[in-house]
Structure 1
Amino acid sequence: MLGIGTGFIGAFTTFSAFIMDSEHLLLLGDFGLLTLYVFLSIVGGLLMAFLGMRHGRRGAQRV
């Protein structure tokens, strides 16, 4: 239960930081960096999730 609560609250703080940073870049008018930041955050997050699942499956097959 502690792990679920920590993960749930952690997700909110991570998303809040992402939105705050994005808004800051938007208000500065730095649209190029904003686009790069959002793109790399989303694509990088999906890529890392994929690699983590792949790594986990390989580890489970070895046991």
Structure 2
Amino acid sequence: MTVSVSQNLSLRAQQSVSKKNPTADGMSLASKNKYDCSHNPSGIVNLGVAENHLMKNELRDI
């Protein structure tokens, strides 16, 4: 017997799950089409993620 998701989620959760998430959609699209100057020059450069290169070593060691 297959139980549908709606039977396991509250109405509020169902409404949240059913909404489109443009941020997640954009991140997914960007990750599937990454820019590379040699192999994919028409790809996407993701500017939506902050990286702290000054703390890279310290964060890696944690």
TM-score category, normalised to shorter length? 0.3 to 0.5
Q: Bigger radius of gyration, 1 or 2? A: 2
Give the alignment's TM-score, normalised by structure 1. Answer: 0.32
